[in-house]
Chains A and B, each alone.
Chain A
Amino acid sequence: DTEVTQTPKHLVMGMTNKKSLKCEQHMGHRAMYWYKQKAKKPPELMFVYSYEKLSINESVPSRFSPECPNSSLLNLHLHALQPEDSALYLCASRPVLRGNTEAFFGQGTRLTVV
């Protein structure tokens, strides 16, 4: 199993809504990432969890709240978003110990804030 699964695939939410994005992997990877990608731009790092602890927060606004409940799951809780937060949100995972591969990405959640 070399998959990173993200749900939902598409999400439309109002600026007063609260929603969550979910990410799951069963490759035993202990680093998990959230990226944001706008059209025709590269992925932009938001958060990194290593061994279920937050290791990198790229100064992301508090309306985005990550959570890593266990080594297979990563959530991104959304609250009071703005239309400019509309983007493709990508989850990735990577084996922390030196191995023969690098980060795998999920297919993303396409978020539209109205």
Chain B
Amino acid sequence: QKEVEQDPGPLSVPEGAIVSLNCTYSNSAFQYFMWYRQYSRKGPELLMYTYSSGNKEDGRFTAQVDKSSKYISLFIRDSQPSDSATYLCASRGNGNKLVFGAGTILRVKS
């Protein structure tokens, strides 16, 4: 079993839709949870960072972590064609090792 599971998609939505991206993890030691956005042939860009459980909002993006169910979510409101990218969830314990999910390909159609 992979430590971080993520559906690779692709997920296709119309412009303006609310997008829900999800991951599950198995390692109870994970405390730090990240979402990265990666455009084709570019490096991953840190979108959201959450420590432990709870919600964090930044503009159109909301990250949620539920440690009791080991579930990580990213919501994108009013999605735009420019949001089309691969979204990677990642987790880390107290050490240095970041563990990535497989990445979900998102396509927002205008």
| Chain A residues packing against B (C-beta within 8 Å) | 4, 6, 31, 33, 41-43, 45, 48, 50, 55-56, 88, 90, 92, 94, 96, 100-108, 110
A-B contact pairs, 30 of them (CB 8 A): A4-B43, A31-B96, A41-B102, A41-B103, A42-B102, A42-B103, A43-B44, A43-B100, A45-B97, A48-B96, A50-B96, A55-B96, A56-B97, A90-B43, A92-B98, A101-B49, A102-B32, A102-B46, A102-B49, A102-B90, A102-B92, A103-B34, A103-B46, A103-B98, A105-B36, A105-B43, A107-B42, A107-B43, A108-B42, A110-B41
Q: Which 7 A-B pairs have the closest CB atoms?
A: A42-B100, A105-B43, A107-B43, A102-B49, A48-B96, A105-B44, A108-B43
Contact for A48 among B34, B44, B90, B97, CB less than 8 A: B97
Which residues of chain B come closer than 8 Å to A106, judged between CB atoms? 43
| Minimal Cβ-Cβ distance residue in A for B92 | A102
How many residues of chain B have a CB within 8 Å of chain A? Answer: 20
Min CB–CB distance A104 → chain B (angstroms): 6
| Chain B residues packing against A (C-beta within 8 Å) | 32, 34, 36, 41-46, 49, 88, 90, 92, 96-98, 100-103
Min CB–CB distance B13 → chain A (angstroms): 20
Q: For the complex, what is the distance from the CA of A105 to the CA of B60, rounded to whole Å?
A: 22
Min CB–CB distance B26 → chain A (angstroms): 16
Contact for B34 among A31, A102, A110, CB less than 8 A: A102
Q: For the complex, what is the distance from the CA of A106 to the CA of B38, rounded to whole Å?
A: 11
Whether B46 contacts A101 by the Cβ 8 Å rule is yes
Min CB–CB distance A68 → chain B (angstroms): 13
| Minimal Cβ-Cβ distance residue in A for B49 | A102
